Structures are given as structure tokens and as C-alpha cells.
Structure 1
């Protein structure tokens, strides 16, 4: 039997949870679906220092606080990976592997995932030294040498986090300077056990029968290759939108990001998008929360308008 709701929120990161909170406070029936643990990428962040109201808070702690807040007005939370969405007039059908749900409106908040390097050894040593989450896996490398690949906010922030656990952290970046926020750079540069290898890319990840033993890198200016020994490799080279299940709706750009207006509405009536799936200049927890609040109000207006048309 198909379960019916006013609103279905797909994704339980900060954007999705905020949208669910606003919609449920407006007394709409809300289902929040997620394929994993609520909180999204916040769970992979050690310390958050730029979320108003907290001088510093652990990512998983903020995830739990948001979840507790977002579900206090009757939001239903369910596990499920969405395989597709179809529209039948004003009705939206959301399909997972074993269930179909019906809603008047849908808010897409599936977020994004870490981009992979696509080099030999990356898949082979997944879970055996290759990681995309320092908070999750850093403790396995206590007093060992690790490598961080990337030069943006995530790479630099997690390198600093790992410096408190590992013996030595080496940051490999393809450019000659970091792209991270200045304050994050200052924190990393102040650490005695963080080294930087510039203008270099990882060619392959090396290992033995059991685990990672290091990486082979190539200097982009000299073409010289060298091996760096390490027990762990943490990769932070960008993100990709989790929008494959929504492609048939025709609401994404050529890179997979969803296009919306200021009310977070897509060009398909009754389908909204928030957070990291959107085409936007800045992807932060604060911007995700802002998206969610706007969408929560916009979806209320949409649902009420649909009721008046009946």
C-alpha cells in the first residue's frame, strides 16, 4: 500500500532536516528519507567553528541536535535509497527498492559525495588505508604517517585534525598554494608535523597484500616521480552531486547540479531542491540550513495552493 504525505524530504543532512522542521511546524505531514545516517557530511567533520551559536562543536553532535529538533513536530524518518521519482499531475511518486511513497510535494536534499581520484589502488585499498573521512578513520592511524590529497577547506581542515593523531601528515596538492580559507591555512601551517608537497598529483596508491604502504606522486613541473611512504591516504578532491535518481526529471545542469529559483523550486511544479545538490556558489552548513528554511515555507505555500485548487 502506498503511503501518502504532504511532503517527502529526500536526504537528512542540514538542508533536509531544516526543511522538514519548517514544513512539520506548519502542520504538514512530512516523511524524511535517507539512505544512510542522518547528518550527511557533518558526520565526517571533526570540529565545526563557523556555525552560529557555537564557538566549536563536533560534526556528529550538531547532526544529533539537528535531528532531535527537526523531528519534534511529527516528522517520520525512514531508511531508503530513492531509485526514481515520477509525477502524475499534482501527485509525486517516490520509489525506493522496496517501497513507494506518494506526496503533494518533494524536497530534494540528497547532498553530495566525495569525488574519487580514479587512480590505481584507490578501489583496491578502500577500507585498508584509503579513506574519505578523517573523523571516521583517523583513530586507526595513531602515531603513523598519513597522506592527505587536496588543497581546499576539507583537505586542510582534516589534515589539521589528523595532525593530533598521526605521527606525520603530508598534504599533496596539485597547485603551488592552498585554496582553503586563510584561517584554516594558518592552523595547518602552524603544525610542526604537517608537510606540504606542491605541484604534485597522485599517480597510484601503493600497498601490499594487507594495506596501504604509500603513494607514488608526480611533480607537474618536472615530471619527476617519487614514492611517499604512509599507512593511510585521505582523499579530499571535491564533491559530486547525488542526483542520478533525479535525472529523468530534467532539472539538472550538465554537471548534475539541480537548478532552482530563490524559493528553491525547480522547473517541475511541486519539486524543490536544497543544500549541496543545488547549483550555488557556496556549500556550507549555514547555507544548507538557509535553503531548508526557505523551502519549508515555499512547500507549505505550494501544498496549500494545491488544496484550494481541488
Structure 2
């Protein structure tokens, strides 16, 4: 018997409606297929640890960025307060009291300079200026330790009086002169992008680096407890060498660090657009802006030939 839709073929299979297992009343009560679980090839027990490590790194990065933003916000707040104070004074720049060297109030000698790296130095140069300040502090400490070592050597050997006297002289001369002659020009160069101060710094600090090398060598009779002097006293008096050898090591570290920082500042100087011509212009402008020079020039012009 032909069924409808079989195209008149008497050998066609009967439709699915004749299959009792396809009855809707039966299929709706079939259990749903079990859920598919991940196999061992897919499951990785270290994924959670890697995610935690990545989250920890991201959190540390966010905290570091937040600290940097807070520091910049404090710097902006301080500058804003200075600007407000300047507006209260009628547009004049706020007076700044000298704060360096940090001397107590009862001291008859008052601070001679104002120094605030976080306020006066641009953000991208603060690290190198701070490093140069610490280099100056280390050089000052090395001169004081050099004086102590020379004094100890003079106490056990009176023929080392010249080394002791020169060590005292170097400590008294190099400490203030190094601050004024190379640190302050470097500070002012980065503060105001001054080509003239950059050239002063490069010239003086190159000489200073040569002195650092001589200090590390320690030629006898020059007042430096470098390697040569320290090894000499090691043979004759080991207790004194205990003081001299650390001084020689400190002199060596300062010499190496000075060369590294000099190269670093030179690379930053080339990025600032400074030049020798600009330094000449700044020098000429500074000379003619000096009231004493202008008065002398006016007097010479008034007198005539």
C-alpha cells in the first residue's frame, strides 16, 4: 500500500510516525544528555596561579603609578601655593629663604643657597641632579675619612706630616669649592636650561674627575690615602691600613661614578638643545645686565676718547 508523499513507490519505507520510539509522548520524557566536562588535556591547574601572579604584577604597577601621581600632585600643590602667594604680593615672585647648608638657627653663619630639587628641577632631570648631590656628599665624606686616616698614619710615623697637612688642606678647600664650582652650576643648568652653566660644569667637573682618579691612586706625599699609600702602610702598620684601605676603595668608587654621571649629563645636555653659541649669548647678556658693568661702560662712553 502506497503512502502519501512516497511518489507512488510501493517499496518505500513507512514514515517515522509508524515508529513507536519517535512518538512525542515518549521522546519528551527522555533524559537530557550529560554535561560535557573538560578533559585532562584541557585542564591546567597552574592557570589560577598564573592569573594570580599577573594580577599581583598589575596591582603593583597600579600602586607605583598611584604613588607617582600622588608625588606629582604634591609638587603641583606646592607650586600652586607659591603662585597664590605671588599673586597676593602683587605679582612679585615669592621670597625664598636660603636653606642650604642646613644650619641651626643659633649658628652665627646662615644658609647661603636655596635648594629644592623637587620644586626647582624639572621632573625628568631630578634623578640625575639628586645623584650628583649624593656624589658630592660622598666626596666630602671621603675627604673627612682621608683626613682621619692621614692623622692615624701621622701618629705612628711622624715623617708623614706633609700627608697629614695636605689631607687637612684638601678637606677644607675641596668641600666648599666643589659645591660652588661644579655642583651649583650643574644645578642651575638643569633649573633654567642654561648653556653657560653647562659649560662651566663640564670644564670644572672634568678637572674634578681627574682629581678623583689621583685620590684613588694615592701617590705618597700628596695627602691622599689611595691604593699606593694604603698598600705601603699595610706593610709597616696594618692597623692604620684598616683605615686607609676603605678610603682608597671609596675614592675608586667616586671616581668611577663621577665618570658615569659626567657621560650621563653630557647626553642630557645634548638633548636640551644647548650650544656654545647660546652659552656666549647668555654670558654676554649676564655681563651687560650687571649694574656695575653698565655703570663702568656708561662712564667710559661719557668720558670719550
What's the TM-score, normalizing by structure 1?
A: 0.23
Instruction: Identify the structure with the greater strand proportion.
Output: 1
Greater Cα radius of gyration, structure 1 or 2: 2
Instruction: Identify the structure with the greater helix proportion.
Output: 2
